[in-house]
A and B are shown apart, each in its own frame.
Chain A
Amino acid sequence: MKILSIISLLALSATLAHSAPDRAVTVKTTVNGMVCSFCAQGILAHFKKHPAVSNVHVDLTRKLVLLEERKGKTITDNEITEYIRKSGFEPLKVERVKESFEQAKTD
């Protein structure tokens, strides 16, 4: 019975881990080459068209592109990498953080 409970708990955890989160997730991408806002307009143009993205912010000082995902929707790391490259830049690292989009903007 104890083993059955543990298996059930593990199954439930796995299901929760793979389902889309019910809160907005913030995605931070470190990007090289972003020194000019006029040249980086493609980043805004591309991500604004993605149905899973509700907010985009480009931080030239920290070399970051911040995305806010819509609740229950996800943009994949591959899509992020592809969009940054289509905009003419080189993505270095994509990470999903616990901070809200607004907190991440002001860090």
Chain B
Amino acid sequence: MRITQGTFSFLPDLTDEQIGRQLDYALSRGWALSVESTDDAHPRNVFWDMWGMPAFDRTDAATILGEVQACRRAHPDRYVKVNAFDAESGWETVRLSFIVQRPKDEPGFALERQEGPGRTQRYTVRAYACDRPAGRRYPGDAP
């Protein structure tokens, strides 16, 4: 399967050139860029591992793209995404967030059910990857 979180997951994977243009756009809006990665892309997992701090004062896309590439090299089988953070009053939140790397194999999620009263179900979405301990969830992870 292919998880479809992020702004551009329904498009073919972005090239570095395309990523660079999105970074330019975010910088032109005054947003701070950051890179994050995870081996647990559960839809409710909003706290991916930060690749350093958000680059509040960096204004060139090339530096950020360098960070993306460094994060990919360090975590070749993790999901990696770029976030653009807007500190303007009334927003103070992420304004753009898109995946820039995914594992070669995405095992996806199981839907578990627990019977409740009155035909209700308690649903749990469970990542198959999380059957294995952190750090050994994808084939390329170090043992």
Pair from one complex? no
| Chain A residues proximal to chain B, CB less than 8 Å | none
